[in-house]
Amino acid sequence: MNQPEKFNFNDRPAAGIEKLARRILNINIANGWDVTNAFDWPEGQRPKEEAANKLAAKLALIHSEVSEALEALRAGNRGNYAEELADVVIRVLDHAEGLNIDLGTEIELKLERNASRGYRHGGKAL
Protein backbone atom coordinates (compact mmCIF):
# COMPACT_ATOMS: atom_id res chain seq x y z
CA MET A 1 0.00 0.00 0.00
CA ASN A 2 1.32 3.45 -0.84
CA GLN A 3 1.86 5.83 2.02
CA PRO A 4 -0.31 8.98 1.89
CA GLU A 5 1.72 12.21 2.08
CA LYS A 6 0.04 13.33 5.32
CA PHE A 7 1.00 10.13 7.20
CA ASN A 8 3.27 10.80 10.18
CA PHE A 9 5.12 7.77 11.55
CA ASN A 10 5.98 9.72 14.71
CA ASP A 11 2.31 9.72 15.71
CA ARG A 12 1.22 6.08 15.64
CA PRO A 13 -1.35 5.36 18.34
CA ALA A 14 -2.07 1.96 16.76
CA ALA A 15 1.56 0.86 17.10
CA GLY A 16 0.86 -0.77 20.50
CA ILE A 17 -1.36 -3.26 18.76
CA GLU A 18 1.74 -5.06 17.55
CA LYS A 19 2.67 -6.25 21.06
CA LEU A 20 -0.90 -7.40 21.63
CA ALA A 21 -0.89 -9.27 18.34
CA ARG A 22 2.39 -11.03 19.22
CA ARG A 23 1.02 -12.00 22.65
CA ILE A 24 -2.15 -13.44 21.12
CA LEU A 25 -0.17 -15.43 18.57
CA ASN A 26 2.16 -16.78 21.26
CA ILE A 27 -0.80 -17.87 23.41
CA ASN A 28 -2.42 -19.63 20.47
CA ILE A 29 0.85 -21.38 19.56
CA ALA A 30 1.28 -22.49 23.19
CA ASN A 31 -2.29 -23.82 23.15
CA GLY A 32 -1.55 -25.93 20.09
CA TRP A 33 -3.62 -24.09 17.49
CA ASP A 34 -2.64 -24.27 13.83
CA VAL A 35 -1.85 -20.58 13.48
CA THR A 36 -1.10 -18.85 10.20
CA ASN A 37 2.53 -18.21 9.32
CA ALA A 38 4.54 -16.30 6.75
CA PHE A 39 4.90 -19.44 4.58
CA ASP A 40 1.12 -19.57 4.13
CA TRP A 41 1.26 -16.45 1.95
CA PRO A 42 4.75 -15.18 1.12
CA GLU A 43 4.89 -11.58 -0.04
CA GLY A 44 4.87 -11.20 -3.81
CA GLN A 45 3.29 -14.63 -4.37
CA ARG A 46 -0.15 -16.16 -4.51
CA PRO A 47 -0.84 -18.60 -1.67
CA LYS A 48 -0.76 -22.26 -2.67
CA GLU A 49 -4.15 -23.99 -2.66
CA GLU A 50 -3.72 -25.76 0.70
CA ALA A 51 -2.56 -22.53 2.35
CA ALA A 52 -5.38 -20.56 0.73
CA ASN A 53 -7.86 -23.05 2.18
CA LYS A 54 -6.27 -22.62 5.61
CA LEU A 55 -6.49 -18.82 5.32
CA ALA A 56 -10.10 -19.10 4.16
CA ALA A 57 -10.91 -21.20 7.23
CA LYS A 58 -9.31 -18.54 9.43
CA LEU A 59 -11.46 -15.85 7.79
CA ALA A 60 -14.53 -18.02 8.33
CA LEU A 61 -13.64 -18.26 12.03
CA ILE A 62 -13.34 -14.46 12.20
CA HIS A 63 -16.76 -14.28 10.61
CA SER A 64 -18.12 -16.79 13.11
CA GLU A 65 -17.15 -14.44 15.93
CA VAL A 66 -19.01 -11.59 14.20
CA SER A 67 -22.04 -13.89 13.96
CA GLU A 68 -21.74 -14.72 17.66
CA ALA A 69 -21.74 -10.97 18.38
CA LEU A 70 -24.89 -10.62 16.29
CA GLU A 71 -26.56 -13.40 18.28
CA ALA A 72 -25.57 -11.67 21.54
CA LEU A 73 -27.10 -8.46 20.19
CA ARG A 74 -30.29 -10.31 19.27
CA ALA A 75 -30.44 -11.74 22.79
CA GLY A 76 -29.81 -8.32 24.31
CA ASN A 77 -26.76 -9.67 26.14
CA ARG A 78 -24.33 -6.75 26.24
CA GLY A 79 -21.70 -8.64 28.26
CA ASN A 80 -21.58 -11.46 25.74
CA TYR A 81 -21.63 -8.91 22.91
CA ALA A 82 -18.47 -7.30 24.31
CA GLU A 83 -16.80 -10.70 24.67
CA GLU A 84 -17.59 -11.63 21.08
CA LEU A 85 -16.21 -8.31 19.81
CA ALA A 86 -13.01 -9.15 21.70
CA ASP A 87 -12.99 -12.55 19.98
CA VAL A 88 -13.23 -10.83 16.59
CA VAL A 89 -10.22 -8.64 17.33
CA ILE A 90 -8.24 -11.54 18.83
CA ARG A 91 -8.80 -13.68 15.74
CA VAL A 92 -7.93 -10.82 13.37
CA LEU A 93 -4.73 -9.96 15.25
CA ASP A 94 -3.70 -13.63 15.46
CA HIS A 95 -4.27 -14.05 11.73
CA ALA A 96 -2.41 -10.89 10.72
CA GLU A 97 0.52 -11.46 13.08
CA GLY A 98 1.00 -15.00 11.81
CA LEU A 99 1.25 -13.66 8.28
CA ASN A 100 3.72 -10.95 9.37
CA ILE A 101 1.21 -8.25 8.48
CA ASP A 102 2.00 -5.06 10.41
CA LEU A 103 -1.58 -4.34 11.31
CA GLY A 104 -0.71 -1.28 13.40
CA THR A 105 0.79 0.41 10.36
CA GLU A 106 -2.05 -0.79 8.12
CA ILE A 107 -4.58 0.70 10.53
CA GLU A 108 -2.71 4.00 10.66
CA LEU A 109 -2.55 4.17 6.87
CA LYS A 110 -6.22 3.29 6.49
CA LEU A 111 -7.27 5.83 9.11
CA GLU A 112 -5.34 8.48 7.22
CA ARG A 113 -7.12 7.53 4.00
CA ASN A 114 -10.52 7.44 5.73
CA ALA A 115 -9.94 10.87 7.28
CA SER A 116 -9.43 12.33 3.82
CA ARG A 117 -12.54 10.76 2.28
CA GLY A 118 -14.93 13.43 3.47
CA TYR A 119 -18.34 13.39 5.05
CA ARG A 120 -19.91 9.93 4.70
CA HIS A 121 -17.32 9.11 2.09
CA GLY A 122 -19.05 11.15 -0.58
CA GLY A 123 -22.64 10.85 0.59
CA LYS A 124 -23.04 7.12 1.22
CA ALA A 125 -26.04 6.19 3.38
CA LEU A 126 -24.21 3.56 5.50
Q: Are 66 and 81 in contact (CB under 8 A)?
A: no
Widest CA span in the chain? 47
CB of 36 to Mg ion, least distance (A): 18
102 makes contact with Mg ion (CB under 5 A) = no
CB of 79 to Mg ion, least distance (A): 13
Nearer to Mg ion (CB atom), residue 87 or residue 102: 87
68 makes contact with Mg ion (CB under 5 A) = yes
To 5 degrees, how large is the angle CA 107–CA 95–CA 100? 70
89 makes contact with Mg ion (CB under 5 A) = no
- Sites for Mg ion among residues 6-65 (CB under 5 A): 65
87 makes contact with Mg ion (CB under 5 A) = yes
Q: Are 81 and 8 in contact (CB under 8 A)?
A: no
Closest CA to 92 of 12, 35, 13, 32: 35
Contact set with Mg ion (CB under 5 A): 65, 68, 84, 87
